[in-house]
Amino acid sequence: MHEPDGQQPLWPFAAALEITEVLEWRTDVLQSRAGEQRIALRSTPREIVTFQHRCDALGMARAAELVRAGFAEEWSVPLWHMALQPTADVAQGATEIAVDTTAADFRAGDAVAIAVDGREASLAEIADVEADRLILVEPLGAQLLAATVAATRITVAPVRSGLLTAPVEIARRRQNDGMVTATFLLRDAPDLSEPVMPTYLGRPVQTDPSLTRSPITASLRRAVEYVDNGFGPVVVELLRDLFERGEAITLKAQGAAERWALRRWLWSLRGRQSSFWLPSWGRELQLRAAMTSGSTLMRVVPITDLAAYVGRAILLEMPSGLRFRTITAAVVEGADHRLTLSSSLGEPVAFGTKVHFLTLVRSDADRIEIRHGAVASEVTLPVVEVPE
């Protein structure tokens, strides 16, 4: 079903409940005894969004007829998980909408969806995108319900082409109250730049304060084969020289800017392709004494064998910010362990400074699901330790 002007049909319903966004890559991971090689088979992810719309009887009827007429068509899909409110009131005849465009996927030449008071959306074509405004091809008219509409009543969202990839479901609770669920595969993936993050040894460090670790799902393992001939003892043979630590992390983002930054970071991982440093935030290394600004020696409470310290990266929470170093040597010093760092901190390290291990990890999934709620977006990501 096409619109009268020949454009592809619009899915006009405003999302009312949680939105699910799925990013899907394809990565071929080739493992050897001492390492692994990761080959990206899909340069940009497939984006799949699922919307839930709460509709009255008329809305459910309209959804059913739209789908009946154009299920296999390409649709204009408003991206309600990137919806924003204008920063100023909007009037009929205006050719600009004041809005922060840096936190959503607005594109010149595409459309913007405009919804007033949560009603069905209408479209306007974008001529140009500036950091603080959208410049439209034609003045606004029928998109607004009055000569001037307050910014708090308006929602604007980017629009992308998409295909329905699952049956549209209508769950009627009562005659005049129901839920419409639709899933779209989006076209024309954006080219997102990586977010600015601290780096260490050429790789980013994930220091998001919203990060929550899920130790219930953590696993510590080695790749082994159990040999059992049924008559004698079971023999364990190592298949890889690497220790594998798997864990799940959950990140939450509130507000349009934080949600956009989270999406950019997930995009930069490219599924299982890219690696990054993940702090444990576990305070594994507890200082026995303060350090001077030029010292590279750190006395800590013993927690493991001396050889296990060497080569480990650490994070120090300093007053001036987060600092990263590598342990190059370890010896026994009385009842303590004395560790040698790769370089001095350039400032005194007070007794009680929090010191955590850094682990190099990558995503252990090519399919990432982001749950967008009214207040925050949340994603749970399985990660696995990789060799440096």
Kindly report, residue by residue over 311-355, the tens digit of the pLDDT: 999 999 999 999 999 999 999 999 999 999 999 999 999 999 999
36 lies in a domain?
yes
Read off the pLDDT band of 18 (50, 70, 90): confident
DSSP 194: P
3-state secondary structure (DSSP) of residue 202: coil
Position 339 in a domain: no
Q: Is 129 inside any structural domain?
A: yes
Whether the pLDDT of residue 20 is over 90: the answer is: yes
Tokens 């090689």 appear where? 37
What is the pLDDT, as a whole number, of residue 232? 78
List 48's β-bridge partners, or say none.
22, 185
State yes or no: pLDDT of 1 exceeds 50.
no
366 occurs within a structural domain = no
pLDDT at residue 361, rounded to an integer: 94
Give the tens place of pLDDT for each residue, 197-207.
Answer: 999 999 999 99
Q: What is the three-class DSSP state of 87?
A: coil
**Inter-CA distances, 314 with 28, 70, 78, 319, Å:** 30, 56, 44, 16
User: Does 278 reside within a domain?
Assistant: no
334 or 2: which leads in pLDDT: 334
Give residue-wise pLDDT tens across range 93-110.
999 999 999 999 999 999
Is 78 a member of any domain? yes
* Residue 198 within any structural domain of the chain: no
Paired tokens of 66: 């739209």
pLDDT of residue 97: 96
Are 299 and 355 in contact by the 8 Å Cβ rule? The answer is no
Over 90: is that where the pLDDT of 34 sits? no
pLDDT of residue 168: 95
* Structural domain includes residue 277: no
Q: How far apart are the C-alpha atoms of 70 and 9, rounded to whole Å? A: 8
For residue 388, what pLDDT is reported? 75
- Looking at residue 228, its pLDDT comes to 80
The DSSP-derived string for 90-103 is EETT-SEEE--GGG
**Burial (0-12, 13-18, 19+ Cβ within 10 Å), 63:** buried
Q: What is the mean pLDDT of the chain?
A: 90
Predicted confidence at residue 2, as pLDDT, reads: 40
Residue 201, Ramachandran bin (φ over 0: left; ψ between -120 and 50: alpha; else beta): left
Q: Over 60: is that where the pLDDT of 6 sits?
A: no
Total tally of structural domains belonging to the chain: 1
Mean pLDDT value of segment 238-262:
85
The pLDDT score that the predictor gives to residue 218 is 62
Give the separation between CA 6 and CA 86, rounded to whole angstroms.
29
List the Cα angle 43/47/48 in 5-degree steps: 150
Closest CA to 325 of 207, 201, 197: 201
Predicted TM-score (pTM) of the model is: 0.86
As a whole number, mean pLDDT of residues 76-85 equals 95
Q: Which domain holds residue 143?
A: 19-186
